[in-house]
Amino acid sequence: MKLLLVVNPSASSVTPRARVIIEKALSGDHEVEVAETKRRGHATRLAQAAATEGADVVAVLGGDGTLNEAANGLAGTDTALAPLPGGSTNVFARTIGLPDEPIDAAVATLDALANDNIRSVGLGSVNRRYFLFHTGIGFDAAVVEQVERRGDLKRYANHPLFAYAALTTWMRHYDRKQPRFSILYGDGSRIDDGYFSICLNTNPYTYLGGRPFDIAPEATLDRGLVAVTIRSMKLIRFLPIIAGGLSSPQRIKNSKYVDYRTDLDELEIIGRAPFPYQVDGDFLGTVESLRLRHEPEVLRLVMPTAVTP
C-alpha cells in the first residue's frame, strides 16, 4: 500500500525514537512517505494532497487535534485514516481500541492493514467542520480555551492543567447564572435552558488517566449523534452529573437537569449571546449559532482487528 505518515513533532508523546521505529515498521510492507505538520490546519492540506495523489492510507502520529485535521482532509475520499496516538490523551485512538503507546499502536495498525480491516464510519459535522468524537459547547469549550492559553504546559502536565483550567473557568471565566443557548432538534422539539452541551459521535467523552469518562454509551460510529445538555450549573446539581460520568452513565441520563437525546441526524444551537465551542479538543472560538449533523459512512478508517466501537 501507499502510505503517508503525518507527524506532529510538537505532540506530547512524539519522540524522535518513536518516529524512527514507526516509520521503519510501516516501511517494511508498504511504500511510506513522511510529512511533518508546521502549523494549525496543515494536516488537513497534507491529507487532501495525499488523497488526490492516490495514497491508500494516511497514518497520523499526533494528538486528537492533528487527527481531526487529517479526517477533515480525507472525508469523502477513498483514502483511509490510521490513528497513531501521539498526544496527551488520544481520545479517538483509544476509543477504537488502539494501545496508548504509539509503537504498540503501529503494530496493531500493521496487523489491521494486513487483514484489510478498513471500514467506512460516520462522523459528526458542526458548521461544516467534521468531528471524530465530540463537539463541546459552552463551559466545556471555555475550559479548553483556558488550557490552550497555557499550551506550553500541556505537554508536561496535561490532566493537572485541565483540572486547574476547569476550576478557574468555573470561578472566573464562564457565566453560570443564566442559560447560554437554545437547542432545536430535527423533530421540531427544543429546549431553551442550555448551559453547556456535548454532542458526541463516540463514547467516552474523554479519559481521566486510564479511566474513561462515559456519558453516552449510545454514541458509536454506526449510529447518529448523541446530545447531552446540562440545564443547571448550580454546584449541588452539577457535581452529581459529573460523578455520573465516572460511575454510571445512567445517572446522567436520568437526571432531571440533563437533556439527553440519541440517534440524532441534526440539531441547531442558537445562543442568547456569542458562546464558545471546541471540536475534538481544539478551541475554535465563539459563535452565535451552530448547526450539527450526522454524516454516515463518510470516512474510511483503519480499525484494530476485532474492534467494533
User: What is the per-residue pLDDT across 285-309, written as a single tens digit (0 to 9) for each?
Assistant: 999 999 999 999 999 999 997 654 4
227 plus 254 within the same structural domain: yes
64 plus 158 within the same structural domain: no
Tell me the three cell numbers of residue 263.
Answer: 440517534
Structure confidence at residue 152 as a pLDDT band (50, 70, 90): low
**Rounded to whole angstroms, how far apart are CA atoms 80 and 65?**
17
In this model, does residue 210 exceed pLDDT 90?
A: no
pLDDT score, position 177: 87
101 plus 141 within the same structural domain: no
Q: Mean per-residue pLDDT for 12-32?
A: 94
For residue 128, the number of C-alpha atoms closer than 13 Å in the C-beta half-sphere is: 0
pLDDT score, position 68: 98
Taking CA atoms, 206 is separated from 63, 92, 144, in Å, by 13, 9, 13
Q: Mean per-residue pLDDT for 8-13?
A: 89
User: What is the per-residue pLDDT across 213-242, written as a single tens digit (0 to 9) for each?
Assistant: 899 999 999 999 999 999 998 888 877 777
User: What is the value of pTM for the model shown?
Assistant: 0.92
Handedness of CA 75, 78, 83, 86 (dihedral sign): negative
Tell me the three-class secondary structure of 227-281, residue by residue. Answer: EEEECCCCHHHHHHHHHHHHHCHHHHHHCCCEEEEEEECEEEEEEEEEEEEEECC
88 plus 183 within the same structural domain: no
User: What is the per-residue pLDDT across 53-90, written as a single tens digit (0 to 9) for each?
Assistant: 999 999 999 999 999 999 999 999 999 999 999 988 89
Number of independent structural domains in the chain = 2
Range(s) of the domain holding residue 37 = 2-116
74 plus 220 within the same structural domain: no
Is residue 306 domain-resident? no
Is residue 104 domain-resident? yes
pLDDT score, position 275: 96
pLDDT score, position 309: 45
180 plus 280 within the same structural domain: yes
165 plus 291 within the same structural domain: yes
Is residue 268 domain-resident? yes
pLDDT score, position 157: 53
CB 150 within 8 A of CB 231: no
CATH number assigned to the domain comprising residue 180: 2.60.200.40
Who contacts 87 (Cβ-Cβ below 8 Å, separation ≥6)? 11, 12, 13, 62, 63, 64, 65, 66
